[in-house]
Amino acid sequence: MIKVGIVGGTGYTGVELLRILATHPEVKLTAITSRKEDGLPVADMFPSLRGRVDLAFSSPDKAKLTECDVVFFATPHGVAMAQAPELLAAGVKVIDLAADFRLQDIASFEKWYKMPHSCPELLKEAAYGLVELNRDAIRKARIVGNPGCYPTTMQLGLAPLLKAGVIDASHLIADCKSGVSGAGRKAEVATLFSEAGDNFKAYGVSGHRHSPETLERLSKLTADKVGLLFTPHLVPMIRGMHSTLYARLTKDIDNAALQALFEKAYKDEPFVDVMPFGSHPETRSTRASNMLRIAIHRPNDGDTVVVLVVQDNLVKGASGQAVQCMNLMFGLDESTGLMHVPILP
């Protein structure tokens, strides 16, 4: 059994990790930390886990994290890199759901996250945790930087086109929407029900910290210079993410061949569903699952290809993807414990 620790078990990604790992056949939940909730049974805070998780939260100084096989960090940016050296020295693998090990460009990390990177040497060996595009590196890694939710949709939606060299890489557009849970569980005015409900808005238009992450990774898929215009939006729902991606075709390619690019790229991927050409995937078709769905459009058979991508921002966009990485790191089938059917309604 894989002994698992979770640092930061009280947020949305933390409880999503608990939900998934509580029924994972190869996992033993060993430690779950929270300074504020030290001693509180997990099931008292999250009644959905009654009968599934019998641990209590423990403060980080009490938790025996070095006795775990792997530790997930479901914490604010900066926490994982502070604790990773000690854990790695003890032979514990690290999966960070924040941004500490996502960006290889340290200057870019420090610009967007407003903090110095405390372990650049460890950053060099960290694997980026988008399994479908980086499987071999994750399998061998001690440290994984889990991708951001928006970058997951943008990369998987654009990768087949960039690899095939059929689009203008310098003028990519991503129009993306996320449910309110993407902002985390902390109390903020902008995410109060009366503020976020019955409302729709863009944010981060002048620049968003998921842009440099996405650009860094997309640039590895093509020799061409990549330019991305990315605009995120907040929609009045709890879970779900919908990204509409636009790219200009530069090669003469018919619709059947476009569809074939995606079907070939993802034919063996358990968590990427390429829908029939012209489909309209809905966020609810992925709710509470690790599935990401893609559909391709070509309006008026013109020179613009439109890619629609949906996922659950807390699962494939965060905790489910992290467990997918853990499975690879420990030699398991990557779908182990993750074959949940999306819930409806």
Question: Catalytic positions, please?
Answer: 149
d(CA 287, CA 228): 28
CB distance 73 to 80 below 8 Å: yes
CB distance 229 to 169 below 8 Å: no
Rounded to 5 degrees, what are φ and ψ at 85? -55, -45
Euclidean distance between the first and final Cα of the chain, in Å?
A: 35
Q: 207: exposed, middle or buried (C-beta count within 10 Å: 0-12, 13-18, 19+)?
A: exposed
For residue 133, what are the contacts with CB-CB under 8 A and spacing of at least 6? 155, 156, 159, 217, 221
d(CA 40, CA 62): 13
Question: For residue 28, what are the CA distances in angstroms to 55, 83, 287, 308?
Answer: 11, 21, 26, 37
> Residue for token digits 């070939």?
264
3-class SS of residue 48:
helix
